[in-house]
Amino acid sequence: MSLTPYFNGDNMIRLDKMLAHMGYGSRKEVKELIRKGYVSVDGEIVKSDDIKVDENNEVIICNEVINYDEFIYLMLNKPDGYISATFDNKLPTVLDLIYGYESRNLFPVGRLDIDTYGLLILTNDGKLAHKLLSPKNHVAKKYYLKYDGKYDESFIEIFNKGVKIEDYITKPALFEDLGNNEAYMTISEGKFHQVKRMMEYVGCHVTYLERVSFGNLNLDLNLKRGEFRPLTIEEIQKLKEN
């Protein structure tokens, strides 16, 4: 069996967690399937859900051999008006824009505000998402923004040093002035409304915000607002290198 996107070549993972992440049901549902004897590992029915597996184990669920390569990685060009969540009582979510992957338990990797546009990754690879979002990894996120207010050269140094927003100091960020009240801001964190609040700190109000890159992955400019596509093998590889 080939090395797979799921396992990333390191630790073993609990059987029930792996099956749930791969879209075979909620954690509770897959535990039930295991308990009822629908799952085998290397030819033996297993009834305990806390056993651990890796890519060397052949796992069969309801007569279907698990294909570990079937992890899903999508790039969405997020439009305005959708929240970055899997479910909401009132508002449409980014999942409402995705079709063809209904049973795959996709979730957005991190959040963009409801009125923020641009690059959002959706996946069911919890391990990779966790790695990409971990504060320890400082994955860079680059935003294009328009703002009201007066530009000053001091912004570059102010953001490079970090600014105090409520109870924390932001990590060094790169501000690139584009003239005409437009700029790029690259941050390595993902605090709530971070870019907007950083701009408020220097007396400016963000009127338009679009994420143009996430780590070493750029927004595909062929994707119209609201459109998505699977990442290519090369892009998945790049994402994992972050």
Among 12, 25, 98, 113, binds ligand URA (CB under 6 A): 113
Give the closest residue to 202 by CA, choosing from 160, 168, 152: 152
- Which 53-92 positions form the footprint of ligand URA (CB under 6 A)? none
Residue 193 as a binder of ligand URA (CB under 6 A): the answer is yes
Closest approach of Cβ 200 to ligand URA, in Å? Answer: 10
Q: Is residue 167 within 8 Å of residue 217, measured between CB atoms? A: no
- Is residue 209 a contact point for ligand URA (CB under 6 A)? yes
Contacts of 229 (CB under 8 A, 6+ apart): 74, 75, 220, 223
Q: How many helices (H) and strands (E) does the chain have?
A: 6, 17
Candidate list 97, 173, 196, 228; residue touching ligand URA; CB under 6 A: 196
In terms of phi and psi (left: phi > 0; alpha: psi -120 to 50; beta: otherwise), the region of 230 is beta
Residue selected from 112, 121, 183, 239 as contacting ligand URA according to rule CB under 6 A: 112
Q: Which is nearer to ligand URA, 33 or 114 (CB)?
A: 114
The structure tokens listed for 222 are: 């062929």
The answer to whether residue 195 forms part of the interface with ligand URA (CB under 6 A) is yes
Residues with a catalytic annotation lie at: 113
Beta-sheet pairing, 107-108 with 117-123: antiparallel
Judged by CB under 6 A, does residue 170 bind ligand URA? no
CB-nearer residue toward ligand URA: 35 or 193: 193
Q: Which of 20, 126, 194, 217 binds ligand URA (CB under 6 A)?
A: 194
Q: What is the CA radius of gyration of the chain?
A: 21
Which residues make beta-bridge pairs with 61? Answer: 39, 64
As measured in angstroms, the least distance from the Cβ of 211 to ligand URA is: 7
By CB under 6 A, name the binding residues for ligand URA: 112-113, 116, 193-196, 209
